[in-house]
Amino acid sequence: MKHFDALTTEYSDEALCAKARDGDLDAEEQLVLRYQRQVRMCARPYFLAGGDSEDLIQEAMFGLIKAIREFDPGRDIQFRTFADVCIRNRIRSAIVSASRGKHMPLNDSVPFDSVMAESDCSPEDLFISREEEAERITQLSKCLSCLEQQVLTLFLQGLSYQEISCHVGRSVKSVDNAVQRIRRKLAPYYGDFSKS
């Protein structure tokens, strides 16, 4: 346990990757714990019609594990950046596979944040896309109640229903109901979330 506690504070992500490559399972576990929220944030922009959001979170976690095992410190890139790319690529790959009919619940995945889904954008295109997305979110927020706006913001930050519940002072069921209302209200802008 002392070894694991030392890993939580004393080592950088890159050092933990090196330890994980050498077979230190505690180091790998510590990286997974450090990046748990990042995994959720990467997966959250995608809604799953007829499926559970945990499916995409699981795919994102596979991307993180791949990043831990394949990170090369010789390449001039930080682990955080490499992990983010691996996580997002795994999510996109799962959606592409689903569109081929391999995983039916993922077939109707709809990216909420289309900017994140585009990897070949120039910096100018990315900036314009982000501005357009911000404007769209501003317009959409006008059709959401105050509670729904809070829930959406926290949901997209990667918080679980339980964590959102604590933040907004409502029951988990109330949070789930708010998410379902948000999906119905956003469907005209981002696709039909209600179809199976």
Looking at the DSSP assignment, which residues form a beta bridge with residue 46?
A: 111
How distant, in Å, are the alpha carbons of 24, 85, 136 from that of 128? 44, 21, 12
* pLDDT computed for residue 108 by the predictor: 46
Give pLDDT < 70 ranges for the chain.
1-9, 47-52, 96-130, 132-134, 136-137, 139-141, 187-196
| CA trace torsion 48, 51, 55, 60 (10° rounding) | -10
* pLDDT computed for residue 16 by the predictor: 92
* pLDDT computed for residue 21 by the predictor: 87
Number of neighbours of residue 194 by Cβ within 10 angstroms:
12
Looking at the DSSP assignment, which residues form a beta bridge with residue 47?
A: 110
* pLDDT computed for residue 127 by the predictor: 62
The length of the chain is 196
Please, is 67 exposed, middle or buried when counting C-beta atoms within 10 Å of its C-beta (0-12, 13-18, 19+)? Answer: buried
Number of neighbours of residue 162 by Cβ within 10 angstroms:
9
* pLDDT computed for residue 189 by the predictor: 59
- Its CATH architecture, for the domain 122-196, is Orthogonal Bundle (1.10)
Number of neighbours of residue 126 by Cβ within 10 angstroms:
14
* pLDDT computed for residue 90 by the predictor: 86
DSSP per residue over 46-80, as a string?
A: EE-TTS-HHHHHHHHHHHHHHHHHH--TTSS--HH
Whether the CB-CB separation of 178 and 161 falls below 8 Å is answered with no
pLDDT digits (tens, 9 = 90+) for 17-70: 989 888 898 999 999 999 999 888 888 777 554 456 777 888 889 999 999 988
* pLDDT computed for residue 102 by the predictor: 44
One-letter identity of residue 3? H
Q: Closest by alpha carbon to 193, among 89, 90, 112, 139?
A: 112
* pLDDT computed for residue 43 by the predictor: 82
* pLDDT computed for residue 30 by the predictor: 93
* pLDDT computed for residue 150 by the predictor: 85
